[in-house]
Amino acid sequence: MSNYAVIKGASYILAAAPDMVLHNGTTQTTEMIVNPESEYLKELPNHLRSFDDVLAYIPNQVYIGNMTNKELAAVEFPYYDKKAAEPKRYGKYGEIMPQDEFLGLMQICDVFDLVKLEAEFAQSVKAKLTAHGMLKEEQIAILDKNTDTPDAIKALVEEEHAEPLYDNFKLVGAVKRAHDVDVNLSAHVMLENLVSKASSVLAMLHLLKVTGIDPAEVDYVVDCCEEACGDMNQRGGGNFAKAAAEVVGLPNATGSDVRGFCAGPAHAILDAASLVKAGTFKNVIVTAGGCTAKLGMNGKDHVKKGLPILEDCLGGFAVLLSENDGVNPIIRNDIVGKHTVGTGSSPQAVIGALVTDSLDAAGLKLTDIDKFAPELQNPDITKPAGAGDVPEANYKMIAALGVKRGDLQRTEIPTFVAERGLVGWAPTQGHIPSGVPYMGPCRDDILAGDVKRAMIIGKGSLFLGRMTNLFDGVSFLIEANPGKQEEAAAVSEDKIKSLIGEAMRDFAKSLME
C-alpha cells in the first residue's frame, strides 16, 4: 500500500468579534487616523450584527458543517438577508464562539500575563467556558486571577499603552505591551498574535474531538496564519505552532510556522503531507488562527450599500494528516501545481501553472477532477466591494483553459462550473479561504463515494510584502484511498518476483547439468 498521507479529519471555527471590527480592523483603525469624524465611523456601529444573526448567517453554518455547499448553492443570492432554518453554535467541524468567551480564551492562551480582564466580566466568562467543556479545569481557573476594576483597566489603556478589549461597546479588558520600546512586542502586535493563537487553539481542540486522536500521538504541528511573532532581533521568528500545541495539550509534539500569504495553508498541507509520507512523523496537524486586521476589511462598501458588516468573525481551521490507513482520502503530493518564478502574472498563466500543468504531467484531464477548490471567498462579501464572485471567476478561467485544451466544449462551461465548482462560503480572513475550507467536506464527499478526486488550489499575493512583485500558489490532489487495490497489486507483484526467482534458479540448475 502506498504511503501517501491521509486526511483523518478537519475542524473549522469562527469567533464573533463585532467590537474588534470597530477597534482592530485596519480599515477602521486607518479611518480613525486619517478621518476620525467620518460618516462611516459614525454609521458603522448600526451595521454590526448580533451573535444570533451571526449564527443564523447561512455561510457561517456551512463553514462549521451544519449545512452543505449544495444547500448553500440552492439559496437565492444574496445570503445576508436570509437566515438558516435551524442555526446552531456547534457543527460537525467546530463552532461559532461568542466574543466574550473568546476574550476569556485569549487570556487562557496568554502565558506572559499580558491580558487583563475586568474582574466581574472574567467571572461571567469563566462560567460560560466551564459549560463549554473543552478546556481543563486548571486552564479555566486562570480567569480567577483577575482583580482589576473598570477604572484600573481604563488606566492601563490610557497610561500604559495597553490595547483595549471591548464587549458590547464596553471596556472589559486590555492587552499590555510586552516591551517598553520593541515595536514587535507592542500591545497592538501582542493582541493580534494572541487572537491568532487563541483561534488556532480552539480549532485544534475541535480537531481532537472530531478525529478522536490521542493528543499524545500528535508528533508535529504546522501553523500557517498571517501573523508573525518575534522581537526586534527576530521579527517573525515564530513559533505559533508550538505555542498553541502547548495550550492544547500535545505533550509529544513539536512544530514550526509556514508563511505564504493566502497560499500559506496549501504550502503547509504539502509540507505536512511530505513529512508523513517520508515517515518523519506519523501524525501532523496543520492549523491557522484568525486575523484581526481583516475584520471589516470591506466595511465601507457594505455600509454604503446598506448591508450589515459581514466580516465580523475571526476564522480558524485545523487538519490532521496521518499515515495511510487504507481508508481515508490520500493527498497526492506527487501531483503538484506550482506558480514558479518564471510563470508570469496573467490569470491564464497562473491557472495554467497551478491547474493544467500538473494534470498534464500526471496524464489527467480537467474532467478527471470532480471538484476544484480555489479561493473560496463568500461572494456576499466580495461582490458589494467590487471584487466579484471570486470562486466563480476561477472556475470560468479553468473551464476556458479546458476548452482551449480540448478537454470540454465551450457549451459545456456552465455545466463544468456548476458541477465541478463550489459556491464560496469562507470568511475573508486572508489565508482562510484558499482551498482549505473544502478539505473537511471533501473528505466526507470522498468517503461517501460522491467524489473520487479533488484539487485544492492556494494562491497568494507576495507583492504585499514589498519584497517582490510576484504572485504565488501551489495546488495538490486529494483522492479516494486505493489501499485495498494497492495491497492486491502488491501481492501480485510479490508472486511475480517469486516466479522470476524460481525461473532463474531452474535456469542456473540447467546450466550446471
Residue 436's domain is classified under what CATH number? Answer: 3.40.47
Q: Per the structure, how many domains does the chain have?
A: 1
Under DSSP, is residue 218 helix (H, G, I), strand (E, B) or coil?
A: coil
The reply to whether 296 falls in a domain is no
Give residue 132's pLDDT.
Answer: 96
Cβ–Cβ under 8 Å, residues 178 and 190: yes
Give residue 32's pLDDT.
Answer: 97
Give residue 504's pLDDT.
Answer: 54
Residue of 84, 144, 98 whose CA lies nearest to 120: 144
Which residues, including other chains, have CB under 8 Å from residue 163's CB and lie 6 or more apart? 157, 174, 175, 187, 188, 190, 191
Give residue 487's pLDDT.
Answer: 43
d(CA 191, CA 228): 12
- Residues composing the chain: 513
Q: Which residues partner with 461 through β-bridges? A: 471
Cell for 86? 435551524
Domain hosting residue 457, numbered range: 330-488
Which residues, including other chains, have CB under 8 Å from residue 437's CB and lie 6 or more apart? 12, 63, 317, 373, 376, 425, 426
The reply to whether 403 falls in a domain is yes
The reply to whether 452 falls in a domain is yes
Please tell me what DSSP assigns to residue 357.
H
The reply to whether 165 falls in a domain is no
Which residues, including other chains, have CB under 8 Å from residue 485's CB and lie 6 or more apart? none
Low-confidence ranges of the chain (pLDDT < 70): 1, 484-513
Exposure string for 100-130, b = 16+ CB within 10 A, e = fewer: bbbbbbbbbbbeeebbbbbbebbebbbeebe
Give residue 505's pLDDT.
Answer: 63
The reply to whether 456 falls in a domain is yes
Give residue 2's pLDDT.
Answer: 73
Under DSSP, is residue 381 helix (H, G, I), strand (E, B) or coil?
A: helix
d(CA 198, CA 192): 10
Written in H, E and C, the secondary structure of 432-485 is CCECHHHHHHHHHHHHCCCCCEEEEEEEEEHHHHCCCCCEEEEEEEEECCCHHH
pLDDT tens digits, residue range 450-505? 999 999 999 999 999 999 999 999 999 999 999 854 444 445 556 556 655 565 56
Q: Which residues partner with 476 through β-bridges? A: 336, 456
Give residue 483's pLDDT.
Answer: 84
The reply to whether 68 falls in a domain is no
The reply to whether 386 falls in a domain is yes
Give residue 347's pLDDT.
Answer: 85
The reply to whether 139 falls in a domain is no
